[in-house]
Amino acid sequence: MKTYRIAAIPGDGIGNEVIPAGIEVLEALAAKRGFALAFEHFDWGSKRYLETGAYIPAGGLERLKTFDAIFFGAVGAAEVPDHISLWGLRLPICQGFDQYANVRPARVLPGVDSPLRDGSAVDWVIIRENSEGEYSGSGGRVHRGLPEEVATETSVFTRRGVERIHRFAFELARARPKKHLTLVTKSNAQRHGMVLWDEIFFEVAKAYPEVRWDRELVDAMTTRMVLKPGSIDTVVASNLHADILSDLAAALSGSLGIAPTANLNPERTFPSMFEPIHGSAFDITGKGIANPLATFWTASMMLEHLGEARAAAGLMRAIEAVTAEGVLTPDLGGVHDTRAVTNAVKRALDRGR
């Protein structure tokens, strides 16, 4: 039987609630579809950091490299500054494994209310550059604690890095029915890196005549997402811009609790990582009401990446059947808890094709 080795890193907060729910659903699905998933559990999170001083133990990334995929929850805890937790766990994996293409679909699922008048128009994929740009980590602090203290945070745009993400975005746009791609930029104000970002996009566009494209400044993009959602299909944006726009996209599609993401290393030199967009959600941790749908949708993206397209589609159908029935957690206006939604998805899988 085909067996995939999956590294499960629930991390912090509700990651420890939604990842086990995701594993339960994935195991039920695999049994039905005739493949196996061998999960190995990693305790990498803020508790481990506070006890040992490291999120990832020595040799951890080398171990992680041997898996077919990584199923990740969230990182972030009240006792650890966010920049320490993010750079301690998530970013070393994304950057170390060259997961440069971050794919973030947004869609209003059946039975879910969008804050938009025309929520059904939301059917987008945001592609985020995930290896450099504003989150390159380049910079430093000088004269610490003195009145003349200075901090620099340098955005890094490389020809290779920009070209590969634009190419990836055009390929993905071409595979979608609308074949439309929007370039998000801020090259009016940021006249070096963002101008290179635009120029390389125009060069790459020449190889994809079948894809229609347009260009939008990031500030204007926020209003367009709210006022003209139907004019958007596939979007490519830098690390920071896409980070912000995809939270907006998640809110417009109903809740952060639905939004999935895939951190892809398209060449498959390294494993890719699949995670819900949301963070640790301290305010609801331990209450049993975290919405597991973002994790289930993420699991579907992971199956697609592993080559189990039929199982991936079956899981998406089960998720949609459950939202259509109104089995929703409180973030979506429902009264159900994580367990009830998980059980409902498993039942829908049982019924499904």
Token pair in block for residue 294: 């973002």
Interface mask toward ligand ATP for 281-320; x: CB under 6 A: x-xx-----xx--x--------------------------
Cα separation, 246 vs 263, whole angstroms: 14
Strand 133-142 versus strand 150-156 pairing type:
antiparallel
CA proximity to 98, closest of 236, 240, 235, 267 = 267
Token pair in block for residue 170: 């055009």
Residues 17-76 close enough to bind ligand ATP by CB under 6 A:
76
Give the binding-site size for ligand ATP (rule: CB under 6 A): 15
Strand 101-107 versus strand 123-129 pairing type:
antiparallel
Shortest reach from residue 72's CB to ligand ATP, in Å: 12
Shortest reach from residue 84's CB to ligand ATP, in Å: 13
> Cβ-closest residue to ligand ATP?
279
Instruction: Mention every residue, 6+ apart, whose C-beta is less than 8 A from residue 263.
Output: 93, 94, 99, 101, 102, 130, 272, 273, 274, 275
Give the end-to-end CA distance of the chain in Å, rounded to a whole number.
20
Give the number of other Cβ atoms within 10 Å of residue 224's Cβ. 16
CB nearer to ligand ATP: pick between 14 and 162: 14
CB-count burial class (<10 Å; 0-12, 13-18, 19+) for 152:
exposed
CB nearer to ligand ATP: pick between 15 and 193: 15
Please pick, from the candidates 11, 20, 254, 279, the single residue that binds ligand ATP as defined by CB under 6 A. 279
CB nearer to ligand ATP: pick between 109 and 290: 290
Q: Note the Cα 243 to chain centre separation in Å.
A: 9
Please pick, from the candidates 256, 306, 311, 319, the single residue that binds ligand ATP as defined by CB under 6 A. 256
CB nearer to ligand ATP: pick between 70 and 306: 70
Cα separation, 95 vs 87, whole angstroms: 10
CB nearer to ligand ATP: pick between 304 and 331: 331
CA proximity to 227, closest of 88, 121, 97 = 121
CB nearer to ligand ATP: pick between 173 and 281: 281
Residues 227-246 close enough to bind ligand ATP by CB under 6 A:
none
Interface mask toward ligand ATP for 319-338; x: CB under 6 A: ----------x-x-------
Please pick, from the candidates 280, 298, 323, 342, the single residue that binds ligand ATP as defined by CB under 6 A. 280
CB nearer to ligand ATP: pick between 193 and 279: 279
CA proximity to 314, closest of 327, 328, 324, 304 = 304
Regarding 164 and contact with ligand ATP (CB under 6 A), the answer is: no
Cα separation, 115 vs 79, whole angstroms: 34
Shortest reach from residue 295's CB to ligand ATP, in Å: 8
Shortest reach from residue 292's CB to ligand ATP, in Å: 7
Footprint of ligand ATP (CB under 6 A)? 14, 76, 256-257, 278-281, 283-284, 290-291, 294, 329, 331
